[in-house]
């Protein structure tokens, strides 16, 4: 689990979030999804570890730390949308962070339980659609 956590942390640390924000925020969330062979193996280890937590409660702290990391990432994504004035007016940031956390976690579980049901491209599309649904407009500052 330590290796898994370190690998995710290293990938996240290498990412930068710049305008336009949505592509970078999506890449950040994809670090937690089984979109390639390496990440699929990481997710498998993660879920096997969590199954052991049910039997060995002393492992619960590590599991909670990992889940909190994903939740904090969801919070960061929503906060970035709000602070950059991309979020829809009146958006409930706490609620949207929970929904985004559930979406990413759910996609990972579904892919593990039904491998190949969703292609990596489809998972990316679902993230794109969800993030876009939170925004008032398209971003205006393309990279280049």
Task: Give the CATH number of the domain where residue 129 resides.
Answer: 1.10.357.10
pLDDT attached to residue 142: 42
In a domain, 10, yes or no: yes
**What is the count of structural domains for the chain?**
1
In a domain, 32, yes or no: yes
Q: Which domain holds residue 52?
A: 2-133
pLDDT above 80: residue 15: no
Reference 26, options 104, 108, 88, 96; nearest CA is 104
In a domain, 142, yes or no: no
In a domain, 140, yes or no: no
In a domain, 141, yes or no: no
pLDDT above 60: residue 143: no
Band the pLDDT of 123: cuts 50, 70, 90.
very high
In a domain, 86, yes or no: yes
pLDDT attached to residue 144: 38
In a domain, 122, yes or no: yes
Tell me what the mean pLDDT of segment 102-110 comes to.
96
In a domain, 138, yes or no: no
pLDDT attached to residue 106: 96
Reference 141, options 20, 18, 59; nearest CA is 20
pLDDT attached to residue 56: 94
């Amino acid at each position: 689990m330590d290796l898994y956590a370190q690998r995710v942390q290293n990938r996240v640390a290498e990412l930068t979030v710049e305008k336009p924000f949505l592509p970078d925020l999506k890449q950040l969330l994809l670090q937690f999804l089984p979109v390639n062979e390496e990440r699929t193996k990481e997710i498998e280890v993660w879920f096997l570890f969590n199954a052991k937590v049910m039997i060995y409660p002393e492992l619960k702290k590590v599991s909670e730390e990992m889940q909190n990391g994903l939740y904090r990432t969801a919070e960061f994504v929503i906060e970035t949308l709000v602070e950059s004035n991309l979020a829809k007016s009146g958006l409930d940031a706490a609620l949207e962070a929970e929904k985004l956390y559930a979406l990413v976690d759910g996609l990972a579980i579904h892919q593990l339980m039904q491998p190949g049901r969703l292609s990596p491209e489809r998972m990316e599309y679902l993230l794109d659609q969800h993030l876009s649904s939170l925004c008032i407009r398209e971003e205006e500052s393309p990279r280049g």
